Structure formats: structure tokens, C-alpha cells
Amino acid sequence: MNSSRPIVGLRTMAAMAVVLASAPAAAQVTADQGTAQADEIIVTATRQSANLQDVPMAVDVATGEKIERLSILTVSDIQQLSPGLQITNNTGRNNTATLRGISFDPDSGAFPAVEVYLNEVSVNAQQVFSALYDIEQIEVLRGPQGATRGKTAPGGAITIRTRRPDLTNSTGYLQGTLTDRDAFNVQGAVSLPIKADVLALRAALLVDGNRANHVRNIPTGERSYSHTMSGRFSLAYQPTPDLRADLAYQYLNVDARQFQQVAGPGNQPSLLDPTLSGPAIDPKDRYGVTEGPARFRNVSHFVTLNAGWDMGSHRLDFSGGYVSSRLLASRDLDVTNAVPGFIQAQDTDTQYDGFTGELRLSSQFDGFFNYSLSAYRSAIKGPTHVTQQSATFFPSTVLGLPVPPTPVPASTGLYLPLNVGIDVPVNNVTKSIAGSVALQFTDKLRAEVAARYNWFRTNFQTYLTVATPGLPLFGVPAGVLTGPNLASNPQTAYHFKALTGSANIVYEASPDVTAYLSYGRSFRLGPIAVGLTDPLSAELTQTKNETSDSIELGVKTRLFDRRVTFNAAIFYQWINDYISRVPGVYYSVPQNGSITRSFDFNFNGDVRSKGAEVSISAAPTPNWNLDVAASYVDARYQNAVAPCNSFDAAGRIIIPIGQETAQCLRDDRIAEIPRFSLSANTEYRVPIGEGNGFVRALVTYQPGFRSELAQFDYQSLTNVNLFLGFRNGKGWEISGFVKNLFNQERIRSISTATGQVGTTDPNVVFNSGYRTVTLTPPREFGIMSTFSF
């Protein structure tokens, strides 16, 4: 590993910061000497309303206005405004967020690396990322979270705040979007005062449809699609100027059919059957070859309550909520069709009920000292039930067929059918008490220390049912095996405690220049393997708890009569026992010394992450706004030891004698994303009559990079979204747009190997000849119209 690369990257970011700082300055010299200023943005990153420039933390903000102007219709599109943030849903089943290079696999059983909050209530990404409408603001908080909010996370947090009812005026909007890719989005809201300044109601609605990942499935002829319907009712009650409560209920219904995309030459998986896994497929073909279903449904109900009582010297706040979800998934696990004619169907039914509540008391003194105290509790219950069709396949050598070693095709019926049931009774409780102390030493210097003591109780036990009708032709009888997961400890409940928190020092050199030094600490529980049918050692089945610490140094400035804001931060983060996952590792059971099957193993490894982030917002003229942000992150394993597959020269699996899996050293990046990313958006307005014509652009850039894990060279990506339209100044606006202007079709993720299904001989497998891939969406033309009142 070249140790100079991170230094070069940081130097590049420093040079870029100078360029970005000087560019608006040059523009300012020739700009219209009006009074336009960069927007003052208020955030709640620290649970208190504060100007973004005064918060000692790197925060990206997407206001509701910007979300509407840039036709951002899903939460995943927020990554276009926040470099270094990557939100993916490659399979149609799981939404995942990666921030500062720290990734997360939902199937690992671990808590997310990036926590998500809706109106300050912790929610699951699967529940909220599908519907984005009537939003007041989204904030992306970078770095370990473990002080101000109840859930801890090593990468950061995403807070989503919906619009509240207006107690005084009747307001609302209606927006419609239509594209040439069969996508449509209709949303709107209306706010009505019931009793002026005391009671108001707001109702919002969304209907959305699109082609999801734009994949056509060859065996079934179907296309991917996604349909979403959601509605929200909000009630605001303010009996006195010092007391206000906001209650919101949201319903969500998502029905998606998303086929996994594949690329490669295809293959004849068995010499005993001429059937191919499929034709040769180029990534730009956007084809899938799944023979079975790929349908995912989400029906969720959310209730959030936010109440605040300003008592003068103190303020009492409550944030709480209830979430109920039913997540249904039907899919074919053999997404690359490695076994033609056999559907490895899996049906998952997850019922999710969660209660969250936090009571917070904070002082509002004008002097030297302030403090806050809070108590938090979150309880999540609900079983997950999985049923799947599996099979044990045999090589021709075992069945004595007169052909070279090759898998016996499913079309012969010579395989052992297995019906597997997995029940996971989820019961997680998180409790914490927290406190903070803020000290204002001088008009310019302040410090704050916050600590949170956490109690965790969780259930890692799972139950398996394996049934088979047998294989009478070969004397294999029918049978049923039911019992606890053989990989699980008989203990059903685990209790853990952890101390997390933060500390920062802030120096305001002037009203327009703020520097800060901050520290943050987070914690995640180590999960236990779920669904493993063989008793393996604790080193492979029980993951250690993870701790994360970070130091961040930043500066926030406002320049040129506050026409320009410039923020920069550098950070260094170390994660002990980072929880990660490696798929498809072959293992052996020491009791019989045979290689049985593969499994997706969790593992721990130390990680070091360092980087820099820069953002700039400018209003060079009254008619021109510009935002640019860039991120450089180098997050890598530090001599981590992970389960892996090792092969000899003939391609046979090698597992050292006495071990259960091969072990490999890992020093590569922990997330398959480039170190550098950049985002820029701008709007230029031209007065036309009583209104304004405008042109908008949203540009994101990521360089190419080499994936050591996948042995693949990712290409660079420059994505440009362009908007051209007119607003009449009376609440009406219409625009045409094109997304991915240059139609850059780039692979954004690729599997580490071709899709395979094993037999009882690990060296004889069904090989599909395909790797699974995910591409950027194709070029899309559309029209959007909005009316606000």
C-alpha cells in the first residue's frame, strides 16, 4: 500500500479549497453590486435551532425549496447534494447509506452505519426512503453520532423534517412531474388554520411511479417498476406563545418489482443439459435473467409527536413516535440463473413495531453556563419469518454418470429438495440518559461536553425448520429438523452498556469566522449469525461490539458582505472492531472435515478513516446562486483478518487443515466508492415581464478507481441534470429538464465473482457466467409544473 496516497489526496483537497474560495471572489469583482446574500440556513443538528455557520459539525442541508427546484423525488437523490454520501438499493429489498466511507449491510444484523430520523424519531431506511414529499428540510450530519440523539452510529445521521401546519395562513402547493421513462410523480399539500394562531391542519399526498432500476427480465419479459402512494396528516396546536405541539400521521404503500441486472457472456452451467443461463449481456443492455419473482412490498404507518414548552430560563421538549410496518419480499435467490429450470424462491415477511420517546430539558441562560438533560427509550418488536426453497445438488461423479465432473442439472430431478423456514423473533430495547454542559468563556470562545450512557437489550436467537421429501431413488428418506439456530448461543437475551458522547471547542474570531475542534464517539452491537445450519465456532458466528472515535477540525466563514459562505473540515476517525460482512465464503465443519456449503459471514476489523470536506455557497449577483461541495475520504482496513475463499492452481477451494474457513488479510477500502466526490448546483434567473426565466444545473462528479475486492476498474462519472423554465412570481412555475444529460451509463457496483450455486463437491459448481451489476439511470427527459399558494 502506498502510504503517500492519503497525503496527496488531502493536498488536492487543500488546493481545491483555495480555488473554490477564490472563484467567487473573482466573480464578485464584476458582479452586480446588489444586496444579494447567500442564504442563512437554520439547522437542528445539535437538537437546538442554530445557524448552520455556528454549528461545530460538518452538515449538508437540503431545504424543501431546493428539493422541489431540483426535482429530487427520492431520498436516494439527496446524495447528489451531499458528496461522500451514497444511498443504494441494488436488490430492491434493502436501502443502505454510506457516509465518510463507512458502509453497512442490512443483512449483517448490525445497527446502521448511518441512522435515519423522521421528525426526530428513529426510523428504518426501508420505511422512509421511498417517499419524499412536503419536506421542510433534510440534514446530513457527518461523523460519529452518540451524544445528541438516542441512536448511535459511526458514519453519521440523516434527519428528515416534514412541513408543519401554518397556524396563521392557508397555504399549499401542487406539483406534477412526467418523464419519457414512464415515470410520474404527483404531490401536493394544503395547510388550513382551524383556529387562527392556535390550531391548524395540514394534509399532504404523493402518488409516484417509475421503472426502478430500468431492467428488463429476459425469462419473464417483465420490466422493473415501483409504485408508491403515501399520505400525511399533521396537526399543530399552540394554546399559548410558549407551548406548541405537532402531531403527524403518515401512511406509506410501496409495491416494487425490481429485477437484478447482470452482465457477462453467460454459460452452459451443466454439460449434461444444453440449457444456457442466458445470452451474452452487455451492462448497457440492462437485462436480468431471474426465472423467479422479484417483488417487494412495504406498508407502513408512522405517528410522530413533537412538543415544546418555553419556560423562560428553561425549555422542555418531547419527541416520540410509533412505527408499524409490514415488509414483504418474494424473490429468486438464484438471480444469475446459475441453475436453469430451478427457482430458489424465498419469501420474507417482516412485521415491525417500534415505540420511541425522548424527554429533554435544556437551559436558556444568557450567561456563562448552560446545560441539558434527557432520557430516551426505544423498543422494537416484531418477528421476521423466512421460507425458502433450497436444494442439495450433486456432481456427476457422485451419481456415477459417465461424464467428466459436472453438476447434475435440475431438469433431471436428481437433487435433494429442501424447504427451509427461519423465524427471527426481534425484541430490541435501547435506553439512555444524556447530559451536556456548555460554557461560554468569552464572547468568542465556548466549549461543550455531552455524554450519553446507553443500555442495550437484544435478542439474537433464531429458529430453523428444514424439511425434505427425500430422494427415494437413492434411498434418502423424508425428514424434518426443527430447533434453534445451531450457530446461536442458547442464550436468548443479551445486555450491553456503552458510554458515548462528544466534545467541542468553538472560537468565533468574528461574526463571520468560526473555527471549531470536535470529538465524537459511537458504539454498535456485534450481531450473531442468522440462518446458519451448521455449528461453527464463535469466532465465525459471534461478532464483537464496535467502537468509533473521531476528531474533526473545521472552519466556517462568511465573506464579501455575506454573499459567500465557505466551510472546510478535516477529520481522522479510528474504528475498533468495525462490523463488516463478506458474502459466499465456503466453510468446513471440523467434526467431519467436509466442505458443506457457503455462507455470508460477518467479521470484525480495525479501520482508519481520514479525509477533508469543503463546501461553498455564493450569491455573486441578485440573479445568480451557486453551491459547490467536495469530499475526500480514505477509509481502509488495518490488517484485518476476514473469512475468504482461497483457490489452488486448478481452481479448487482450499481450507487449511483444522480451520473452518480460509482467512485473508484485508487492507483495502471498506466501501466500494471512490475517495473523491464533488457536487455543484446553480440557478441563474432572467427577468421576463412580471416573472423570471431560469436555468438550473445540478452536477456531480466521481473519479474512476480500482476495486481491489472485485478486481474491477470503475469508470469516472460526471452526471449533469439541466433545468430550463419560467416562474410568474404568483406561485406558478413550469420547467423542462433532462437528467444524466450526457447519458453516461456507468457501473456503480459489481459482484466480486460470477454467480454460482454449489454441489456437494465444492470444486464442481453451477457457474452462470454472469456478475450482478448496478448502473447509473439512463438519460431522462421530463417536465415539471408547480403551483404554490
Which pLDDT belongs to residue 595?
Answer: 57
Residues 6+ apart with CB under 8 A from 694: 683, 684, 685, 686, 723, 724, 725, 726, 727, 735
Out of 175-179, 219-223, 729-733, which region has the weakest mean confidence (pLDDT)?
729-733
- Angle of CA points 453, 110, 293, to nearest 5°: 150
Task: Examine the pLDDT at 706 and tell me if it is beyond 60.
Answer: yes
- CATH number, domain of 436, equals 2.40.170.20
pTM beyond 0.75, yes or no = yes
pLDDT band of residue 483 (cuts 50, 70, 90) is low
661 within 8 A of 601, measured Cβ to Cβ = yes
Task: Examine the pLDDT at 334 and tell me if it is beyond 60.
Answer: yes
Residues 6+ apart with CB under 8 A from 428: 378, 379, 380, 381, 456, 457, 458, 459
Distance CA 70, CA 60 (A): 16
Distance CA 498, CA 184 (A): 46
Out of 350-364, 451-465, 539-553, 695-709, which region has the weakest mean confidence (pLDDT)?
451-465
Task: Examine the pLDDT at 92 and tell me if it is beyond 80.
Answer: no
> Which strands, in side-by-side order, build the sheet including 121-123?
59-63, 135-142, 156-162, 114-118, 121-123
What does the pLDDT average to over 154-177?
Answer: 95
What does the pLDDT average to over 209-233?
Answer: 95
pLDDT band of residue 109 (cuts 50, 70, 90) is confident
Show the cell assigned to 244: 406548541
Out of 15-24, 158-167, 304-313, 772-781, which region has the weakest mean confidence (pLDDT)?
15-24
Summarised one tens digit per residue, pLDDT across range 45-85 is 888 888 888 899 999 999 988 888 888 887 778 888 899 89
545 within 8 A of 523, measured Cβ to Cβ = yes
pLDDT band of residue 17 (cuts 50, 70, 90) is very low
Residues 6+ apart with CB under 8 A from 779: 738, 739, 740, 741, 742, 743
Backbone angle region of 444, left / alpha / beta, with phi > 0 → left and psi within -120 to 50 → alpha: alpha
Task: Examine the pLDDT at 653 and tell me if it is beyond 90.
Answer: no
What does the pLDDT average to over 32-51?
Answer: 68
> Which strands, in side-by-side order, build the sheet including 771-775?
261-263, 771-775, 747-750
Q: What are phi and psi of 113, to 5 degrees?
A: -80, -25
Domain count, the chain: 1
Give the range of the structural domain holding residue 692, as residue numbers without chain letter: 5-788
The gap from C-alpha 627 to its chain's centroid, in whole angstroms, comes to: 23
Task: Examine the pLDDT at 543 and tell me if it is beyond 60.
Answer: yes
